Amino acid sequence: MIVVTGAAGFIGSNLVRGLNRRRIEDIIAVDDLTEGDKFVNLVDCKIADYLDKDDFRRRIADGSIGDVRAVLHQGACSDTTERNGRYMLDNNYRVTLELFEFCQARRIPFLYASSAAVYGGSSVYVEDPANEGPLNVYGYSKLLFDQVLRRRLDSLTAQVVGLRYFNVYGPHEQHKGRMASVAFHNMNQFLEHGHVRLFAGWDGYVDGGQSRDFISVEDVVAVNLHFLDHPEQSGVFNCGTGRAQPFNDVAASVVNALRAERGEAELTLAQLVEQGLIRYIPFPDDLKGRYQSYTQADVTRLRAAGFQAPMRDVRTGVSEYVRYWRARK
């Protein structure tokens, strides 16, 4: 069986669907459903069993979990504003370490979610310690285990892969609230207010020009499944498109996809701004100096590891996302 932690979450539930598309259903879904609304992300998934994360952690400790073929560890606290370091390091670092030791003892492939947050304010996104300097305890919790893997790379008994996710968007992220993607918030803003709000220019960027490496969750699933298929590959890898695009592109893609639903013509960015469909608000003072205005994954190592599939640009991926989500309403 395959274990997916964080299985009721955003990336986890999409991974379960990716496995199901391969007709893999012998899956143990692990999560914390204290906030029960996340159950909707698993309704259309086929799994063999569900375990609460604390029960799963106990079974890992006492070895009673059963026969495991691989562990896809997505479970974590992903709130970058969480300041409780004790909680963050136990939930993100210590649990990951426990699963790593369990998998190494049993020679089980272990794929886990790292984060581009490890780079902090760096302008170079290459998997190298010289570029790493997290700005929050969330990023530190991810970096801490990446460092463990690096120390153990030459003595591994089975595959271990850490994927540094960049700005992931796509279906089944609605439970994340304010931590959901820009595309999700843009979609809801337009549906509720008839326009999208973006930050005005700051830090040398034009209005809405701050840029990130936005990656569709479908491409994230493809990267995970690639490494699942190649157990000879281990290490820390960026999981992004290698293409930075401005927030303007996301907003324009959202608005035009929703306009297409109504049978309305596609508009250029200038037309969207002129008609008040995209509006800019002053850049918040409290984010100045604490905001990543630009991220772009260096995907050299990912491509060298054999992942050669093309990745969606913002227009393609966001339009797919909007159509998928609107079809379920």
- Report, as residue numbers or ranges, the catalytic residues: 138, 176
Q: Tell me the chain's radius of gyration from C-alpha atoms.
A: 20
Asked if 24 and 2 touch (Cβ cutoff 8 Å), the reply is yes
H or E, element range at 140 = helix 137-152
Measured distance CA(2)–CA(108) in Å, rounded: 10
Asked if 82 and 137 touch (Cβ cutoff 8 Å), the reply is yes
Binding residues for substrate: 167, 178, 185, 199-202, 212, 291
Handedness of CA 239, 328, 13, 137 (dihedral sign): positive
The single-letter code of the amino acid at 108 is: I
Asked if 109 and 71 touch (Cβ cutoff 8 Å), the reply is yes
Q: How far is CA 186 from each of CA 147, 265, 272, rounded to the nearest angstrom?
A: 36, 19, 14
The residues near 219 (Cβ < 8 Å, ≥ 6 apart) are 241, 309, 311, 312, 317
Binding residues: 10-11, 31-32, 38, 53, 74-78, 91, 142, 167-168, 176, 178, 185, 199-202, 212, 291
Burial class (CB in 10 A: 0-12, 13-18, 19+), 1: middle
Of the candidates 22, 71, 13, 17, the residue with the CA atom closest to the CA atom of residue 40: 13
Side-chain-side CA neighbours of residue 290 (13 Å): 8
Measured distance CA(207)–CA(247) in Å, rounded: 9
Binding residues for NADP(+): 10-11, 31-32, 38, 53, 74-78, 91, 142, 168, 176
The single-letter code of the amino acid at 3 is: V
